[in-house]
Amino acid sequence: MSLIYRRRPNQPSIAHVLQDYLGEISPFARRVDRRLLAPPLILLKTIEWAIYRWYKTPIRRFYGVKGNELIYMITSRCTDRCAKCGIWKTPESARDHLPVAHFIDCLNRLHENLYQLTITGGEPLEYSDDLLAIAGVAGNLQVPMLIVTNGVLLTERFLRTYAGLGHTLVISLDTMDRAKWADYRGRDHYDLVMGNIALARTILGGKLRIQSVLAAETREDIPRVKAFCDAHSIPHITQLYMDFGGSWHSAGGAPDSGLACAARKNICIYPNGDVVKCFDHRRIPLAKEPLGNIAKEDIISILCKKRSTEVSKVMKTCNFPCKQLLCNTPTFPYGA
Ligand SMILES: C[S@@+](CC[C@H](N)C(=O)[O-])C[C@H]1O[C@@H](n2cnc3c(N)ncnc32)[C@H](O)[C@@H]1O
Ligand code: SF4
Ligand code: SF4
């Protein structure tokens, strides 16, 4: 026995408790539309936070009602060869690609926990039929969905069906300059993508967003993309450049918000069905290996594993640059 009080390495400090509280309450407060209701709702949320902070069953603590985002990297294949990105360098083989039925089972199991389903890649439109099947199920389950696309493979048929389901589309656009296009995208298809953006604006109306990556290389481009979006009433989102194996350079980081990384609200699925808590999980020793695979196990069983809970706890105090990726922040910039 010792009189010396030993702190365990992962035991949260007061600063961590405060970060945890703000990380949960700030995004909640932002979602309350009516200002008069904000104080009582924040009080109730604080009581809920306090209860589940000290008394918690793993699944309820980390996976609350409409508290989570399911992010599916449906493929790492891509039409483009962007300089900013390295994902296209390692496309999955056809054998490694998850049949869509497994993802739909996963969505059916999790839908009550989800405030949003995001589908990214690689280029998601490489699997446009799967996307429409998923969009239909998400619509029936009332889970707002958004797809992030490079805009190359969009068709009128796809856009009309997708628009009919009421979901959101985000198209990536980093420059308005035709001369830079091929350097940025590794393909010379300025007219095709700009034409598809115009078509998407006509069909999707207010459900279209444009997202740009702010890097040292695009500093002068982003204001022009933003001006284009303003002129066409398309909401514009800026994502800071991160190292995804690309060759661009950071434009300088945003000041640290001081909030805990919000990625622990996420449930991320790789093209082969592997489940992780964030796509940068390899930085966390305990999270290097996937938590399971939805082709082989039920998603709820995967998320109830002790290691899943432990990884979520470690993420509370994790502080790598990937914390700044929009999907890892507590705000909801896409407004799906
Ligand atoms: C990886 S892409 C996949 C979806 C689709 N292929 C596209 O480009 O929109 C998802 C988003 O990440 C952005 N992105 C790509 N490389 C990035 C990087 N190095 N840092 C930050 N965001 C990046 C893209 O611009 C896109 O908006
Ligand atoms: S950013 Fe998107 S379009 Fe560009 S290579 Fe990566 S996955 Fe493909
Ligand atoms: S900081 Fe990065 S690695 Fe750590 S939890 Fe957040 S997204 Fe994952």
Q: Which residue has the higher pLDDT, 35 or 105?
A: 105
Q: Kindly tell me the burial class for residue 241, based on how many C-beta atoms sit within 10 Å of its own C-beta (0-12, 13-18, 19 or more).
A: buried
Q: Which residue has the higher pLDDT, 203 or 264?
A: 203
Q: Which residues line ligand 1 (CB under 6 A)?
A: 78, 84-85, 87, 120-121, 123, 148-150, 172, 211, 213, 239, 241-242, 244, 246
| Interval 219-248: pLDDT, tens | 999 999 999 999 999 999 999 999 889 999
Contact 217, 175 (CB under 8 A): no
pLDDT of residue 55: 59
| Interval 1-59: pLDDT, tens | 334 334 444 455 677 778 778 877 887 888 888 888 999 999 998 988 887 666 555 55
Helix, strand, or coil here: 68?
Answer: strand
Alpha-carbon distance of 314 to 97, in angstroms, equals 30
* pTM, two decimal places: 0.84
Task: Provide DSSP, 194-243.
Answer: HHHHHHHHHHHGGGEEEEEEEBGGGTTHHHHHHHHHHHTT--EEEEE---
pLDDT of residue 247: 96
* 315 C-alpha to ligand 2 centroid (Å): 27
Q: Express as a percent the part of the chain with pLDDT over 90.
A: 67
Q: Is the pLDDT confidence value at 254 over 50?
A: yes
Q: Which residues line ligand 3 (CB under 6 A)?
A: 261, 263, 278, 280, 283-284, 315, 318-320, 322-323, 328
Element counts in the chain: helices (H) and strands (E): 11, 9
Pocket test for ligand 2, best of 81, 88, 152, 270 (most atoms within 8 A of CB): 88
